[in-house]
Amino acid sequence: LYTAPGSCEGRCGEPFSEEDECHCEPECETRGDCCEDRERHCGPDGFSSSRDSITAQELLELSEQLYRADHNKARPGDIALNPQHLAGPDETGDKRDRSPQPLYKFVNEELFSKPTYASFIKLLDNYQRATGREEEVTAEELREQDRFLEEVMKTELMKKLFVFLQGKNRYSSEQEFVQDLKQMWFGLYSRGDGERDSSGFEHVFSGEVKKGKVSGFHNWIRFYLLEKQGGVNYFSHNFDGPWDTYPDVLGLQFSWDGFYKEVGSAFIGCSPEFEFGLYSLCFLARPGRACHLSLGGHQLSVQTYPWTKSTYGGGRSFIATAHVMSP
């Protein structure tokens, strides 16, 4: 389903990595293992010529800037977690609930009245979680998508991200950026039976069920709201990040109405725009590969994958998945 991209789009100037199925740095011509579209993207007139490539150092610096710009994140007193059992590698798959209490002891729900949170939460009930069942998108749901994009683009965080990407010749205007975000995140494609049953946003933030298992579902707000309603049962965690403020990172095991997630991961306590912006950056800069970032002086990686079976807008990729990686 997911493959590392055999393309140089956005990869010119990257160092050689054995993980890649084809390569984009100048030495690949000597080895004879360049991607077929290297010249088109990385040649002197290419879209991704070296001045427009996003370097590893730029990703580290920009992610720190976005981390500092997350003014809507939870403060230390806004969330109280109860992580309970730390699961070993041999325990994550056995579907045993080793934590009798909920994960969230307390969340200050005043956070949810902030415009980006409120518009984000409205999107969460727009989806049928079962793959193979076509999504019917109403006019109201389209308005909710537009409202969410409108609200996140008012934030300093998303404005910084746009200015950076514009400087890399990815987008010529904010309007073009927003239209592309709408397509890559909310555009529908088929995960099963040919029905337009999925989107990047549904998979990553709302969650899906495929072949009896939870698929995606990487958002802390969604988890908290469902846990409060009794729809999610927290089992254990296998990783708790090194941050002593929010956002933090948690690797966790849980069931959703009886469907199991063996190793989930989520940022805890970040704003919707932080997660949306960081995942978008990594998808544009390192699609299909680990995207190495720095938050508050701590390194972490985000993994994204493009959907490979259909495209939009002349060959652009929808987001198949995006999540923060827990060791």
Q: Which residues are catalytic?
A: 203, 218, 261
CA-to-CA separations, 7 to 12, 20, 258, 286, in angstroms, rounded? 10, 10, 40, 11
Q: How far is CA 60 from CA 57, 280, 282, 284, in A?
A: 5, 15, 11, 15
User: How far is residue 185's CA from residue 280's CA, in Å, rounded to a whole number?
Assistant: 9
Q: Which amino acid is at 21?
A: E
Q: How many CB atoms lie within 10 A of CB 298?
A: 13
Short-list 327, 317, 324, 325, CA closest to 3: 317
**What contacts 24+ positions apart, CB below 8 Å, involve 262-267?**
262/92, 262/93, 262/213, 263/92, 263/238, 263/326, 264/214, 264/217, 264/218, 265/218, 265/239, 265/323, 265/324, 265/325, 265/326, 266/218, 266/219, 266/220, 266/223, 266/323, 266/324, 267/220, 267/324
3 is written with which tokens?
């493959």
Q: Give start and end residues of each alpha helix (H) in 82-131.
A: 115-123
Nearest 5°: phi and psi at 243?
-80, 140
User: Which candidate, 241, 291, 232, places its Cα nearest to that of 270?
Assistant: 241
